[in-house]
Structure 1
């Protein structure tokens, strides 16, 4: 797989349709009232298991409080970006720039789909608040770290938690890398990070689990369908590569930076 064929300039109908069918199945199941109630009951049990130890376990409280701060999302983004553009991890060194721009194109697709989907859920009156707002005896980390909450915003509640926006981005990154990954170790590391970085919102109660495994998965699959399995990623990657080539050529003369695969292959 060379740089020119990393993304296909054609519709991949089989993957496109399968992604839509799975997303439609998940959303349809969630729309059935009895199924949705059953899922939320299971989510409530999981929330209790994850959230209750915050009251008695100081280490558990501090670890997840730090992981729930807004700046920690930046740390997560840097880790995901580093793995995406690390030459010879999933992509060859000469492919990483194309891969990055393709991923950015699919992420923009995700933002558009998520915006439309969220508005549709709200219009249908199906939006709900997070478990930390609705369930009795929920432990709010922001009550323990009020200074952190005022300074950094500690994400432990939401008035509109479906679908899981944070999870949808993580899941999309996981699906994207999986589409190009062939080694079991790479798959294991990718999905270990996805599930690990999804955990803070679940422990804090900012999202129900089904916000992630129903809403987040469905949105990520739709973004993959329209972003990766159509010519969109190919076109977006080529356009962004052309626009940024002069910048990377200048960066190629900078010490240390010029050693990065992202910069080296102009």
Structure 2
């Protein structure tokens, strides 16, 4: 991968501008109104539509997080099955590097972004909470929801799919992102801007320096070289 400094810097500037458009205005400007309107829209639907209530409850149950992992795994499996033994090893190592990248970026985002706020269900009064309406285990609140870690992980997955498997895989991964990230917004465990500002800011600023330079390829090479196992392949440094 040849380093593409102009595009990297452009993406960094886009991420910084996105964050400042939310962070700088008093009370977050128009973003605050959008957050409130989105939350109230879905919160009202919880009491108006029983099927929607159950759908939101199920998609925010901890067990449903396993479905997102299954969806990501199935997408990678599609490419893994077509590969040679050496290629399969490469995909597994790429997945490991992707996981480590997600953990590091998530920790950096949580540590470096000077924001801590509770979810809308812990902010507004006189609202409906799914856990109280149905009395089943579901994630409908967070004491520190910014940036959205779940959405960030799925965006990182999408970027890796685009980088290593092409546009179709990247678009499919983005669909997975929408399906599994936005139920958190519908239930009120996250503000809309936790994802479209918080998660996206971290990805736009941090990930280009990893995927649009030789760094990720070099780490994959090192893992392939030093990790035990058969079917090692020679990668370009």
Does residue 75 in structure 1 map to residue 67 in structure 2? Answer: yes
Structure 2 CA distance for aligned equivalents of residues 110 and 88 of structure 1: 21
Structure 2 CA distance for aligned equivalents of residues 189 and 235 of structure 1: 26
- The Cα shift of 1:248 comes to 7.5
Which of 75, 79, 83 is equivalent to 1:93?
83
Structure 2 CA distance for aligned equivalents of residues 85 and 243 of structure 1: 24
In the superposition, the TM-score normalised over structure 2's length comes to 0.84
Which residue does 2:217 correspond to in 1?
Answer: 234
Pairing of 1:191-230 with structure 2 (within 5 A):
191-230=174-213
Which residue does 1:177 correspond to in 2?
Answer: 161
Q: Does the Cα contact within 8 Å between 1:23 and 1:218 map onto a contact in 2?
A: yes
Which residue does 1:155 correspond to in 2?
Answer: 139
Number of residues of Structure 1 aligned to a counterpart in Structure 2: 229
In the superposition, the TM-score normalised over structure 1's length comes to 0.75
Structure 2 CA distance for aligned equivalents of residues 100 and 69 of structure 1: 28
Structure 1 residues 110 and 24: alpha-carbon distance in aligned structure 2, compared to 1, 3 A threshold:
farther
| SS of equivalent residue, structure 1 residue 156 | coil
- CA deviation vs aligned residue, 1:79-125 (integer Å, no higher than 9, x gap): 11220231289xx624554344334324423322332332233xx4x
* Structure 2 unpaired stretches of 5+: 233-237
- CA deviation vs aligned residue, 1:177-197 (integer Å, no higher than 9, x gap): 2334244xx555332221111
Which of 25, 37, 45 is equivalent to 1:53?
45
- The Cα shift of 1:78 comes to 1.6
Structure 2 CA distance for aligned equivalents of residues 119 and 57 of structure 1: 39
The farther-off stretch of 13-22 and 239-248 is: 239-248
* Structure 1 unpaired stretches of 5+: 1-7, 250-266
